[in-house]
Structure 1
Amino acid sequence: MSAVKLTELARTFCLSILKLFYLNMLWLLFTMLGLVIFGLAPATAALCQVQHHWLKEKHVSSTFRLFWKEYKQHFMKTNGLMIILISIGYIIYFDLQFFMDKEGLWNRLISIGIFILSIWYMIIILYIFPVYTYYEVKLFKYIQYAFIVGLLNPFRTIGVAFTVGGMVYLSLYFPQIMFSLGVSLTFFILMIMANQAMNQVAVKKERYS
């Protein structure tokens, strides 16, 4: 490989890192702007929307303006979606704890069933933001679509889970990763893998329709 190509690759790599770093800073800023609780969901949705533009190779004149636009536009909807998901998660957790503490065959069977539901719930959590970015449907449909995409791509879903889990693990032990690249890099990898999964679902749908 020539020196010119190596220089160009190094330049592209550095620019990509800088873009991810800048996007990570925007995510932190706008999450704090919503007092964390109300800023987390719309900031994450805005981050995914920006990355969706990158992956589709759409021109982005200003990352900040696009981020701010998506943040405002999806503020109420994403917070509503998060309230639903948190409520479902709380019910699953409470029921699982309740039945696991009880003796008896039926209680064990119910706790196993709820544990399976918790796995399905985690699949939804993994795909919810890429699905939100990819589709325009009603609120509860996002949950349904996220589950279907994850279920129809089991091996890719396992890969997504390991990738996200690995990045979370690194961010917990090295907080500087999360505050520099952790969130934007994790979601960028997630968006790539999730887009492949959703494209595959679209192909299957066309094949059997």
Structure 2
Amino acid sequence: MFSFEGFVRINAFLTAVYRVAFLNVLWVATTALGLGLFGVGPASYALAKYVDRWLRAGETPPPARVFWRYAREQAGRSMLVSWILLAAGGVIITNVFLASSWYVRILNVGALGVLGIAWCYVYPVLAATDLDTIPRQLGGALLVGFGSLHWTIIGATGVGATWWLLWQFALPLLVLFGVGIPAYAVGLVTRAVFRGLTPADAAEVGPASTGRGQAEPARPGVAAAAR
């Protein structure tokens, strides 16, 4: 028979599952409203920032309200980052399929992996750090990804296995959770990384925020580490 604490843990788990699904729906809606090209950057930034504030500081305000606010927060920069990554991805994928030399194709497959790591971590870096230029933010993303490569590999394996299981046995759930699964996995990695870069966990607030008016903590000072 479950204890009260057991029911509380089950409720917390189910609430987290619901929140991940809702964030995925918001990401899809924001991307679609921006016609893909103009929406994927702000949507990814908003998703990364919400997950970062949730996992690192315990803030769980209503997702819909703050998601739209986050999406507008750095819309121009987040769009530019997405265009850079999409353009680089287009060039790399073209080389993978059209390059005449097999070793050029292998090099581009490796470059595609590096690009994937950059895409996974650049928006958490943009949302949670004080790096002020796009080259430094991209460099910071690679620093986080390769600096915690074991966690990146574990997270990628877990996400891939989860996606495969959902694809095989519960395709509607894959549509429902989709991007939320890797976003949560990346958030778990960056939570540990950003705490390590912030002395005495200064980046965190005491009480969890449940709405407006909560001052955000200082961002991790990783600028020196990425220079």
The normalised TM-score by structure 2 is: 0.73
Q: Does 1:116 align with 2:113?
A: no
Please tell me whether the aligned partners of residues 52 and 191 of structure 1 are also in contact (alpha carbons under 8 angstroms): yes
Q: How does 1:154-193 map to 2 (within 5 A)?
A: 154-170=149-165, 172-173=167-168, 174-193=170-189
Q: Is the 8 A contact 2:46 2:68 kept in 1?
A: yes
The 3 A distance-change label for structure 1 pair 89 and 181 is closer
Q: Percent identity?
A: 20
Unaligned runs of 5+ in 2: 200-221
Instruction: Confirm or deny: 8 A CA contact 2:24 2:178 kept in the other structure.
Output: yes
Seen in structure 2, the aligned counterparts of structure 1 residues 72 and 164 have a Cα distance that, compared at 3 Å, is: same
Tell me by how many angstroms 1:81 deviates.
0.5
Q: Which amino acid aligns with 1:181?
A: F
Letter in 2 for 1:127: Y
In the alignment, what sits opposite 1:83?
83
For residues 163 and 5 of structure 2, the distance between their equivalents in structure 1, rounded to whole angstroms, comes to 34
Mapped contact 1:152–1:201 kept (Cα < 8 A): no
Q: Which has the greater radius of gyration?
A: 1
The structure 2 residue matched to 1:149, chosen from 141, 144, 147, is 144
Query: RMSD between aligned alpha carbons?
Result: 2.9
Structure 1 unaligned regions, length at least 5? 103-107
- 1:54: Cα distance to partner? 1.1
Counterpart of 1:132 (choices 126, 129, 134) is 126
Give the TM-score of the pair, scaled to structure 1: 0.79
Structure 1, residues 69-128: CA drift from partner, whole Å, max 9, x if none?
1111222211111110111122222334343x24xxxxx554444343333222212322
Point out the structure with the larger helix share.
1
Contact 1:149 1:198 in 2 (8 A): no
After the TM superposition, list the runs of 4 or more consecutive aligned residues in structure 1 that deviate by more than 6 angstroms.
none
Quote the offset at 1:191 in angstroms. Answer: 0.7
